[in-house]
Chains A and B, each alone.
Chain A
Amino acid sequence: MNSLPEHNERKNIFVIFLTFLFVYVVLFEFILPVNKILPKPTLLYESYISLWFDYNLLFAAAVTTTVVYFALIIGYLFITFFSMGIVKLMIEAPGLFNAPRIFRYFSPFFFALLFVYWFDDSFLAEMVFGFLIAFYAFGLALYKSIPAIKIEYVDFAKSLGAGKNKIYSHIVWKSCQPSLFGEMKKLHYSLWLFILTYEFIAQTAVGGIYRTALQYNDLAAIFALGIMVCILILFGNFVIGFLKKKIIYWE
């Protein structure tokens, strides 16, 4: 059940949203129907129909969401599956994991350009690009969460006779899970950004539609697409939040 402050916060957001919607409709439908700032609401509605048929929105959205969520899920599963080995390496050879931190200073835009240059508009390459970002982010989150593991958990397990492997799998991995899910929430936003950028460069899927709409100066399409992506991110965020509550029930 939601707490009262949480409920009030949601109510406030809803009221603000309705206010903005009202102002938008009044301002751009009746007062400023022709402008270069925001499209007319009725035009926006028509634009969805055009996006659906002319830009093949359904297929594009399917590709983009598949890449984003596939990367997120596979990245997480990959870390989970190899958790014991990765955690062991992180504790016993931390130097190995310091080296890839250099990638923090590279913009993902650079890698997107490289990937598009190497693989053109390949769907598989886009998947690999998304997976690598997710794996790197999860790996880094895991690495950062290790020093925060409560030493009393490890000491008590050792005292109860747990061996190294049992400690890694039953305590270290479990202790790292809240930060991994925290990372998943952050990564969800950034993956959408990176994948849309990748597609914008490669001119495929939703990012590709953005580019085409920009080339045709189709403000209504850009705006309509923005709303659609926003709804998809909102829905994804809700699902991740729900999963976090179910899986990390002790937080």
Chain B
Amino acid sequence: MSSENILVVEKLFKEYSDNVGYRINLLRGITFKVKKGDVTTIIAPTGSGKSSLLKIISGLEKPTNGDIAFADNTKHIYIPSKPSSYPWLNVRENIVFLLSPIDNDKFVKIIKLVGLDGYEDHFPHNKSVGFRFRISLASALIRSPQLLILDEPFNEMDSITKSEIYLLIKEVNEKLGITFILGTTNISEAIFLSDKVFLMKKNPGEIIDEVDIELEKKRTIDVMDTEKFVETRRKIESIFKSHKTQKLFTFSI
């Protein structure tokens, strides 16, 4: 593995048997590389096996075949798509969950960074998805990971919270130099956040293309109105469309 990469996924396959015993190919030959310090996004339609891919990378699921290689001593943490902060613990307890000893200075720094300063004693059960995501992010950050794997974290957020969290992820990426891998179905979100996007189709899940995002590293929400952003979006949409057409054509033969 070259020193600029933090993760290399090679020829990853995932098969499973459905209820009636048919073998289903969920992922087929997934291959991609993630550069250190980048935000890399996998854009794929719902049901394409994105979550399974991210779980396999995180070590929560096993692939049927293939290799996953991390750069030496890479600590990686996976944040699920649904709120994963524990409702019976307050914000502080959630963040330092199972952590011992606790570095108080680091805790203060992290809680300020994610915007939960002053909420240490609050419980997350009646809070918004965005609030709960900040807790999960802080729980991950306090453990100093080099790689964060986020599985569709913005799914249930309103548009204002989404923009806030986008900027928070960009800030964490810039300030702490943490590499991110994101899974999403939202093209605009992927372009705004990423340095590189991989496009994945479904049935079976396969990487069909990759696009380098040529926008400035420092971004504000306004970048979404720029010509370059719209162009990139069109490019990605056309790749997905052409692939769909191609598939239909293949089927008709």
Q: Which residues of B contact A (CB under 8 A)?
A: 55, 58, 60, 76-84, 86-88, 97-98, 123, 125, 136, 139-140, 143
Given contacts A160-B98, A160-B143, A251-B125, 10 further A-B contacts (CB under 8 A): A152-B84, A155-B78, A156-B78, A156-B84, A156-B139, A159-B58, A159-B78, A160-B77, A162-B98, A249-B123
Which residues on the A side are within 8 Å of B77 (C-beta)? 159-160
Chosen A-B contacts, 29 in total, with CB atoms closer than 8 Å, are: A151-B80, A152-B80, A152-B81, A152-B83, A152-B84, A155-B55, A155-B58, A155-B60, A155-B78, A156-B78, A157-B98, A159-B58, A159-B60, A159-B76, A159-B77, A160-B77, A161-B98, A161-B143, A162-B98, A166-B98, A170-B86, A170-B97, A170-B98, A174-B88, A249-B88, A250-B87, A250-B88, A250-B123, A251-B125
B45 CB → nearest A CB, Å? 21
Contact between chains at A171 and B86 (CB < 8 Å)? yes
A-side binding surface: helix, strand, loop or mixed? Answer: helix
Contact count A vs B, C-beta below 8 Å? 53
Confirm or deny: A150 has a beta carbon within 8 angstroms of a beta carbon on chain B: yes
Taking CB atoms and an 8 Å cut-off, the chain A residues in 167-184 that contact chain B are: 170-171, 174
Mask: chain A, 96-134; 1 = CB below 8 Å from B; 0 = not: 000000000000000000000000000000000000000
Confirm or deny: A189 has a beta carbon within 8 angstroms of a beta carbon on chain B: no
Q: How far is the CA of A151 from the CA of B228 in the complex (A)?
A: 40
The contact of B80 among A156, A174, A251, by CB within 8 Å, is A156
Closest to B83 in A: A152
A204 CB → nearest B CB, Å? 41
Contact between chains at B139 and A160 (CB < 8 Å)? yes
Mask: chain A, 127-152; 1 = CB below 8 Å from B; 0 = not: 00000000000000000000000111
Closest to B58 in A: A159
Which residues on the B side are within 8 Å of A174 (C-beta)? 86, 88
> If A160-B140, A174-B88 touch, does A155 touch B98 (CB 8 Å cutoff)?
no
Q: How far is the CA of A151 from the CA of B143 in the complex (A)?
A: 21
Q: How far is the CA of A160 from the CA of B85 in the complex (A)?
A: 12
B82 CB → nearest A CB, Å? 4
Contact between chains at A153 and B88 (CB < 8 Å)? no
Q: How far is the CA of A170 from the CA of B143 in the complex (A)?
A: 19
Closest to A162 in B: B98
> If A158-B60, A159-B60, A162-B98 touch, does A153 touch B84 (CB 8 Å cutoff)?
yes
Which residues on the A side are within 8 Å of B55 (C-beta)? 155
Q: How far is the CA of A159 from the CA of B98 in the complex (A)?
A: 12
Which residues on the A side are within 8 Å of B87 (C-beta)? 250
Which residues on the A side are within 8 Å of B81 (C-beta)? 152
Contact between chains at A153 and B86 (CB < 8 Å)? yes
Which residues on the B side are within 8 Å of A157 (C-beta)? 97-98
